[in-house]
Amino acid sequence: MPAVSPDLLRRFDVPGPRYTSYPTADRFVEAFGQEDYVLALEQRRSCAMAKAQPLSLYVHIPFCESLCYYCACNKIITRHPERATVYLRYLAREIALQTTHCGVGQVVSQLHLGGGTPTFLADAGLRELMAMLQRSFALAPGGEYSIEVDPRTVDADRLACLAELGFNRLSLGVQDFDAGVQKAVHRAQPAEQVFALLQAARAQGFDSVNIDLIYGLPRQTPESFERTLAQTVQLRPERIALYAYAHLPERFKPQRRIVSAELPAAAAKLEMLARALDAFIAAGYVYVGMDHFALPSDALAVAKRQGRLHRNFQGYSTQPDCDLIGLGVSAIGRVGASYSQNAKTLDEYYDFLDQGRLPVVRGLALTRDDLVRRAAIMAIMCQGELLFEPMEQAWLIDFRQYFAVELAQLENLAEQGLVRIGPESVTVSATGWFFVRGIAMVFDRYLQADRNRARFSRII
């Protein structure tokens, strides 16, 4: 375990992007619409090299039965299951439109269902969704097929259904095991329920189970969170995602129900993070980067060791860098040198599809500089090493000249022991991995010119 001093934690307690993309989604523009996205799909279809690469699919299921006050996701609170029936009908229309332009039978090596709560769909709904995807795409054997699960909506029988449908990875939303914290965020969830579910998932043979935790929630203390850490270590999931709560009530209406006075102070949050780092590393987890931990045998840890780690809109991935098609309300996709996002409200999403149009409302066509910087940022975020010569050969640049300002800024991080700057590379140190977002931010041209960073979550 490298030394992570309280001073470093305090210094990097600042907002910054998560870099699931570069440029980040806040840079998307409405000038990019359906016509631009269709062009990107058809260019992919006509390019043999692009077409030969497997796709990644993301499907957004926006519905939840109850509101979690901390949540910043695009969701719809409802107890009416018939709304999902209507939604699936429109998803089928969107899939048909997508395949009209990209072609039926494209190979898919990665599928992720997110939300909202994907398990809001009943077993019949999940079967219908998977059937429509399998009719339009070719899900590759051995692919990574994951789904986000609210433990309150799933039991052993439902896990058996998920396994039967081909899902091999689960992500369980836990956040905190403390009953007082759960009450403060309106998410009552007994620990026994989660333990039983993980045991059932292992019996079903899922390749990997991830547990989501959040620190900085109301009524949390370093002592209470340490108990949650101990229970998580006892569960021993293959992966752990540890997020800092970003309290932005002016942007996310549900957060206005959180009592600000009950939020832990900054010093307490830092102590929670420090205790979490100690607990997970001591338990044998590998720090993958960006809040993610994995057991050494998990595919994510193996990919990091072997330099095969990638990053997309779902976070770190073991799958090769590939185009991503986003399906459903607010879903984000990436095709070629472009990003796109669907309409954020159901009414608008449905209106587009009723007109026979793809529901793309904004996006971005990347410039050459965007592509160069994306390559640099992803090398930092995934491999922890930025090699000058491959960048020069790929983009026909003189690295030291192109990034002269950035290399000068990195000198300060080198003095803090976070990076090493050599004649041919920039390498993230073992300590630097804990602050990799801050290192990547140096290469973000938009962020360097924009000092309004409060819209981002904090780095730690």
Residues annotated within a binding site for [4Fe-4S] cluster: 64, 68, 71
Give the Å distances, CA to CA, from 20 to 197, 377, 434. Answer: 29, 10, 17
Nearest residue to 435 via CA among 24, 72, 7, 21? 7
Specify burial of residue 339 (Cβ count, 10 A radius: 0-12, 13-18, 19+).
Answer: buried
* CA 279/CA 365 separation, integer angstroms: 43
* CA 98/CA 243 separation, integer angstroms: 33
The pair of structure tokens assigned to 394 is: 């790929």
Q: Is 284 left (phi over 0), alpha (psi -120 to 50) or beta?
A: left
Annotated binding site for S-adenosyl-L-methionine: 58, 70-72, 115-117, 148, 175, 187, 212, 246, 332
Nearest residue to 148 via CA among 131, 126, 180, 124? 126
Annotated binding site: 58, 64, 68, 70-72, 115-117, 148, 175, 187, 212, 246, 332
The pair of structure tokens assigned to 12 is: 């990097």
Give the Å distances, CA to CA, from 158 to 22, 60, 152, 417. Answer: 37, 19, 12, 48
CA within 13 Å, CB half, 105: 0
The pair of structure tokens assigned to 289 is: 């980067």
Residue located via tokens 């990638």: 310
In this structure, are residues 358 and 34 in contact, taking their beta carbons and an 8 Å threshold? yes
Sign of CA dihedral 248, 251, 253, 256: positive
* CA 58/CA 115 separation, integer angstroms: 10
